[in-house]
Amino acid sequence: MADNNQNLNGKMLRFVELASSMGKQSMDTIAQYEAREKAASEAIPGLIEHLISTKVIEPGQKQAAENALKDHGQTQALLKNAATKIQETREKAASAQVTGLGQPEGQTKQAHDPNDSLTDPFVGRRSSEKSASDIALFRGLGLMA
């Protein structure tokens, strides 16, 4: 009988030890989860202000963005949409025709005419020729046809 009591006592101690260990692991897991949730919640206002300042969202969409960022599923959908937009932008940039500075997209750089001040790469270059602004002025004054 004493042997059964010792065996039972040993099993009870082992059970309490295992239950205590599982309880501690559960509490640690919950603490880690709560810390991550708190850090994510604290980052939301700054992220929303950044989205507004970069004109990704309008100020009127602030509450909807906050609600979406609090839901992990919606946050993942937002991230997926952002990745799609980035990819589209990269593809558009890669396929776009290379243009010179100040040229509209899709137009190539014009060949330089030494008598045309509009395409001259050197702004304000002195020339004995009439500049585009001279021609416009003379036409306005009725001195040129």
pLDDT in tens, 38-67: 998 999 999 999 988 988 888 898 898 899
Domain ranges, residue 52: 2-92
Contact status, residue 59 vs residue 52, Cβ threshold 8 Å: yes
Contact status, residue 135 vs residue 144, Cβ threshold 8 Å: yes
* 107 vs 76: which has the higher pLDDT: 76
Q: What's residue 18's pLDDT?
A: 94
Q: What's residue 39's pLDDT?
A: 92
Length of the chain: 145
Q: Where are the alpha helices (DSSP H) in 2-142?
A: 2-53, 62-70, 72-95, 132-141
Q: What's residue 105's pLDDT?
A: 57
Over residues 119-139, mean pLDDT = 79
Average pLDDT, the chain: 82
- Does 74 reside within a domain? yes
Report the domain count for the chain.
1
Token pair in block for residue 140: 């306005």
Over residues 26-45, mean pLDDT = 93
Q: What's residue 109's pLDDT?
A: 52
Burial zone of 61 (CB within 10 Å; 0-12 exposed, 13-18 middle, 19+ buried) = middle
- Does 29 reside within a domain? yes
Q: What's residue 130's pLDDT?
A: 80
- pLDDT-derived band at 32 (thresholds 50, 70, 90) equals very high
* Amino acid at residue number 65: A
Closest CA to 121 of 129, 131, 113: 113
- Does 16 reside within a domain? yes
- Does 44 reside within a domain? yes
Q: What's residue 114's pLDDT?
A: 59
- Does 86 reside within a domain? yes
| Digit-coded pLDDT (tens) for 82-121 | 899 889 888 887 776 555 555 555 555 555 565 666 777 7
Contacts of 131 (CB under 8 A, 6+ apart): 117
- Does 111 reside within a domain? no
